[in-house]
Amino acid sequence: MKTVQSLKQCREIVATWRKEGASIGFVPTMGALHDAHLSLVRQSLRDGHKTIVSVFVNPKQFGPNEDYTTYPRVLDADAELLRGAGVHLLFAPTVEEMYPAGFATHVHVGGLTQFLCGATRSGHFEGVATVVTKLLNQVQADAAYFGEKDWQQLQVIKRLTADLDIATRIIGVPIMREDDGLALSSRNRYLNANDRAKAPLLNITLRSLAEDILAGGDIAALLKTAAHGLNENGFAVDYLEFADARLLSPLRNLDKSGRLFVAARIGGARLIDNWPVN
């Protein structure tokens, strides 16, 4: 596995592969890699691609009171994991490489970004859309892989690639969970033992809500009671919603497009999860 920091080197390697007729798979990450990232890598390798992983902690997608400065940066450990997984290229650009002096362009995806994390993390999706547009243009992969844990992010990226005629195919990969249901996340490492023990309640709540909604319960009332239950158990709920899986707009009737979404803080971590209702 090669590791490069500059866009020029990354482009040179991609150009060589293209000449050789290789197809290219891309997994954008912010590092602090765990098995869910590796599942994206494995999917790209299974699909027969030369596989590139980027590690870049993108300052533009963190709010002023969020964890940009403390976000785990463990590039050597990440590189070790990626080498072991059979990745071909690690692209780890610096902030100056991605956002040189004078940088002034931002990508705003309308509509679906006004809901859920878009409503609670101001500017977050503009930061994500901007960096992902840049990364997709830089790498020019055939396919790019994103985890379904960040379901709304995946819809935002599908929207922007469709709207901006970016040819890379966007592929969602199912959530990986611990045995107790907790979705894998780099932020799980912020949990102390006590909070880690409580964290699976997020997924348990979504599963039981899905059953109650399917059984015909009053959706608004069910959401309210479930959010109250989480708050009583030490979470601070940002949102708990039943929403259209593609548009992310709230639904109050059972609809086959519906999906459950939650974001809640516990201890030092803000955790998100989502679950189908069908």
- Shortest distance (Å) from residue 152 CB to ligand PAF: 11
Q: Which is nearer to ligand PAF, 173 or 251 (CB)?
A: 173
Q: Which is nearer to ligand PAF, 29 or 43 (CB)?
A: 29
Q: Which residues, 6+ apart, have CB-to-CB distance to 251 below 8 Å?
A: 219, 242, 243, 244, 257, 258
22, β-bridge pairs? none
How far apart are the C-alpha atoms of 16 and 2, rounded to whole Å? 13
- Shortest distance (Å) from residue 125 CB to ligand PAF: 9
How far apart are the C-alpha atoms of 153 and 133, rounded to whole Å? 13
Q: Which is nearer to ligand PAF, 36 or 206 (CB)?
A: 36
**CA dihedral of residues 150, 257, 110, 219 (deg, nearest 10):** -90
111-137 b/e with 16+ CB inside 10 Å = b? Answer: ebbebbbbeebeebbbbbbbbbbbbbe
- Shortest distance (Å) from residue 135 CB to ligand PAF: 7
241, β-bridge pairs? 261
Catalytic residue flag (residue 37): yes
How far apart are the C-alpha atoms of 220 and 125, rounded to whole Å? 27
How far apart are the C-alpha atoms of 248 and 116, rounded to whole Å? 7
The contact set with ligand PAF (CB under 6 A) reads: 28-30, 58, 61, 128, 131-132, 150, 153
- Shortest distance (Å) from residue 61 CB to ligand PAF: 6
Q: Tokens 């899986």, residue?
A: 245
Q: Which is nearer to ligand PAF, 79 or 213 (CB)?
A: 79
Q: Which two tokens stand for residue 198?
A: 């409580």
- Burial group, residue 198, by CB count within 10 angstroms (0-12, 13-18, 19+): middle
- Shortest distance (Å) from residue 131 CB to ligand PAF: 5
Choose the catalytic residue: 37, 49, 88, 124. 37
Q: Which is nearer to ligand PAF, 97 or 255 (CB)?
A: 97
Active-site amino acid positions:
37
